[in-house]
Chain A
Amino acid sequence: MPMAGEKGSGRLIVIAIPYLWLLALFLVPFLIVVKISVSQDILASPPYTPLLDLSQGWAGLKDYVSQLSFDNYFYVLSFDNEFIGAYGSSLVIASISTVLLLLVGYPIAYAMARAPRSIQPTLLMLVILPFWTSFLIRVYAWIGILSQEGLLNQALLALGVIDTPLEILNTDLAVYIGIVYSYLPFMVLPLYSALEKLDPTLLEAAEDLGCPSARAFWLITFPLSLPGVAAGALLCFIPAVGEFVIPDLLGGSDTMMIGKSLWTEFTVNRSWTSSSAVAVLLLLLLVVPIVIYQNIQARQLEAGK
């Protein structure tokens, strides 16, 4: 039995490390944000109240709890403010982007999985290649491409396709282009890994049983790639909802996204408390798809047994 105990404590330490990491760097900061979100703004440093004074002991804690309020949440969720619109618009933009990403990413992943084995590592590296340049710089580069005097307009004008420059930069279209471009690897990689695992003899079997290959795609390939579709969609959808840099740099003044609103609330309005509330609500909004994703994964694991 002491042997088992020793083994157990060793395992416990190994398991504990990532949990401690998450606790210190995710849960604790998040609880601080939650705490700020139920406080009130004041002009001071820190710019919110009440503060928890642990030296007062039990009385201090009671005092603290009695002063907490959910006013910030009511403020954020009130229809007089832009936040509800921004949440909605973020969800819409993220959803449309995810669909676009699927439409662009699926053929790429499919072609990669069907390519000769020897060149697949190269193709994979090409997909990851953009990561070698900073995300911010790549988004800036799109300004150079999409602006009135940008590369795209100049090329189209030179070719005589258009007479007047297209207005793409600072519109929702630019935001879609930016999101689809930036998130494409996150869509392609899980799709590729799902399609690459697909046993090609399944397609031969389908064809052998009288099913032409186009139909076999919808009956065999696509259903079996659904876990990859789900993984890719959620990997893109979740960060896209909270995206700040892309709408800020490429979007127009009327592009509403919650990340941008949060930034404005924090830096311009200088309200720590209400921006914390925005952040907490955003997280709650995203927990739903994350839970769905985990459910799918668990089911996958179950099926794989």
Chain B
Amino acid sequence: MATEKARTQTIGAVRRSFAPWTDPAATPLIRFDNVVKRFGEFTAVDHVSIDIYEREFFALLGPSGCGKTTLMRMLAGFEEPTEGRVLLAGQDLAGVPPYRRPVNMMFQSYALFPHMSVAENIAFGPKQLGMPKGEIAGRVAEMLKLVKLEKFAQRKPHQLSGGQRQRVALARSLATRPKVLLLDEPLGALDKKLREETQFELMDLQMDLGMTFLIVTHDQEEAMTVADRIAVMNNGVLVQVAPPSTIYEAPATRYVADFIGDVNMLECKVESCANGDVHLASSVTPAPIEIAQSVEANPGDTAWLAIRPEKMRISLDAPADMTRNCFTGEIWDIGYLGDLSIYHVELPCGTPISRAWWSGRFPGKTRFSSPSRRAPAWS
């Protein structure tokens, strides 16, 4: 128990200090250099440049059709970029066929060979690379152990559960020890509980193997959980590349703020902006809004204020300090979720319904009968 805890702490420590992207001397393992991919008239990937470093767990996040899968397929070699270059360890991959790239992919559908047993599926890659027979058997055994499927070696894919198939697909793509493992929506077909477990297993695996993982997902929680850095994409354009905490706390655009997590958006006017202190005015509240966020803005600009629901406090009585960062509103609905409750609050002056999460303090719905006039304050 104690050692387990110690190990987790070490991993945590390693993770915290792992940030090669901040080191200007570090050379990236994978480099997307101004990559454009067009399918006829449609631009799937629009001038994207990303550097991904060795041992990094990197997530490409975005809604379906945003170009994230196309970007990954260009690294795997299934698509060639229309413009720009894809480099792996400094080598331009243009014209290198998929079977010569030291990059393996775990497919969303798993793409297990249905006519081969689990062991044969895992042995497929090593066999293609011309590994000696004895070594292949050793590698297959090692991979089966890694994904805890030793007992299922002789089963055919159709005799396995969804979770087991996912493990076989993972073992198969790792069996050739690729430089980079690409995961295309790897957990999409699993149920929520199994998905969460597998996310942590993937993280451990990536740490233990010391490999570079590139995951494509539309699930922001999944990306936040597993990745060292997240690249948020929309309509083929790269919107922001940053560690999960930065993406969440300091989203670069309205789109990122809205896409990651729940958020309340309010249109404001910039009153003053100095020394990282921004003063905003909004029609929804007479009180001024002050935030400490380094934003470049001029007085008079229109700004969007994004407030995370969990950063708000709700109280029945007006807070003592009503001079800044507070709103008055009417509670319309309360959704009780156990660990937290979702409050739907309507602000006056026809403002859209705002959401607030709040946990504890008021057990149940008894104290608030909706609709009732209350003051949600944000600080």
Contact = CB atoms under 8 A, between A and B. Distances in A.
A224 B99 contact: no
Contacts of B100: 210
A201 B105 CA distance: 11
Nearest to B130: A210
Given A209-B172, A211-B128, A224 B114 contact: yes
A208 interface: yes
A223 B156 CA distance: 15
A273 B98 CA distance: 67
Contact of A199 (B99, B109, B129, B156): B109
B70 to A, nearest CB: 14
Interface residues of B, number: 26
A305 B157 CA distance: 11
Nearest to B158: A303
Residue among B105, B111, B172 facing the most chain A CB atoms (10 A cut-off)? B111
B113 A204 contact: no
Interface in B106-138: 107, 109, 111-115, 124-125, 128-129
A209 B97 CA distance: 11
B158 A209 contact: no
Contacts, number: 66
A209 B76 contact: no
Contact of B115 (A210, A223, A304): A223
B111 A210 contact: no
Contact of B124 (A199, A204, A211): A211
Contacts of A219: 124
A202 interface: yes
B255 interface: no
A33 interface: no
A207 B158 contact: no
A212 interface: yes
B103 to A, nearest CB: 8
A220 interface: yes
A209 B125 contact: yes
B109 A210 contact: no
Interface string A193-226: 0000001011011111111100100011001100
Given A209-B176, A303-B158, A305-B158, A204 B128 contact: no
A249 B235 CA distance: 65
Given A211-B99, A212-B97, A305-B158, A206 B124 contact: yes
A220 B105 contact: no
B129 A204 contact: no
A220 B116 CA distance: 9
B109 A209 contact: no
B198 to A, nearest CB: 20
A254 to B, nearest CB: 44
Contacts of B77: 207-208
B113 A220 contact: yes
Contacts of B112: 205
A202 B99 contact: no
A223 B114 CA distance: 10
Contacts of B176: 209-210
B256 to A, nearest CB: 31
A209 B104 contact: yes
B18 interface: no
Interface in A265-285: none
A5 B195 CA distance: 47
Contacts of A209: 99, 104, 124-125, 128, 172-173, 176
B78 interface: yes
Contacts of B156: 303
Nearest to B115: A223
B111 A201 contact: yes
A215 B114 CA distance: 17
Contacts of B76: 208
Contact of B111 (A204, A215, A224, A303): A204
Nearest to B156: A303
Contacts of A207: 77-78, 97-99
B105 A210 contact: no
11 contacts: A204-B78, A204-B105, A205-B107, A205-B112, A208-B105, A209-B104, A209-B125, A210-B128, A210-B176, A224-B114, A303-B156
Given A205-B105, A210-B100, A219-B124, 5 more contacts: A204-B107, A205-B172, A208-B99, A215-B128, A303-B158
Interface of A: 199, 201-202, 204-212, 215, 219-220, 223-224, 303-305
